[in-house]
Structure 1
């Protein structure tokens, strides 16, 4: 009997509302949530330790709290489900705990915690194993790597056609088998030959970097006017027509 009275005194200190043994049916409700029609369960109260303020959060939805009713004439507690549900992404605190068993021989001890909001509002009891220790932390935003868009490769459809050059062809196009390497950055062109006169219009299609090697398959000679100097142009595979001024033949 003395041991039982000591346990009741411990509970009275640990819980927010004191237990007063008014009658055998007197109970203590840990929160004001409305219970559901689910069956309640009565356990043997083993211990009611006081905890330091600890933060918890939950990682899954649908967890409901329970209310606790403590009998005044024996070390027992009845736990009943409530309609109060815990929210994820929320921090809760606990300073009260109870340890209970089913009362059978060799029954395991289960710990329940009394949860409150961070502002101190009492919510209800829940198994400690349903909680995750620590305050909820907002996940760090993922760093999105900035992708630099590359300029589209110039083709016949998107080449620069703002400054076409018309040349007089002085020698017909001939077949050529020669490899060249660029000595400096060299522009290359798309060629449009006139059908009724020896004229070719060159339109810049891109630039070849220095040190690149290309195979030439055709050659032509042309000049900008009657008194202008004649220049040789060769057709480079996978590129276009280019003046041989910046090209070095490779044997």
Structure 2
């Protein structure tokens, strides 16, 4: 066992020559990634393997992957990772090193192996370790940015309708079977019968939603109903015709 630890530590020393030093970005500027406002939390993992890889391009397709600095122990197979911020989208990052660590089990999750890649931008201003599963292989292309922009535009598009009626409902369970329905926030005018619906996103799959309110609006000269549904953090107005009465069952 001691021999294996020594071998891993030696491999890490060759791939990561800074030893006990933290691998930090060449520039501490936070313009390329969002800096965390709270005190950085350090987590130590068992280092399973470390190696240099052929320079490969990656980009972020969705979300904001966490970016870490890493401090490698010189005499044992351990690495301490500290969150520095999050990666920005619309950029190409280049990976040159890779490590595999063992993340300890918690009360809610099992122990698991996670692969991290050491990435940096072409100008070297952003650099650090990122979970490889959060990256997409290949250079960032403008089309990716357009798709993200379209999603953002869809999300914030707002339309105002005439409010025909509004009432409370006895808490009722619903789910959906076909296409994934959009859900909206609703802003009601104080001095006239108008409501502005703004798309927030899509309902999550395989869930039960509970309706507590319903409204009828005038849409394309037709009366259309929307139900206000909730499920945890998901809350909003959904086209009633896209919902099916009853709780979601696995058979659905």
Task: State the TM-score, normalized to the length of structure 2.
Answer: 0.46
Which structure has the highest strand share of the two?
2
User: As a proportion of its length, which structure holds more helix?
Assistant: 2
Give TM-score scaled by structure 1 length. Answer: 0.47
Compare CA radii of gyration and give the structure with the larger one.
1
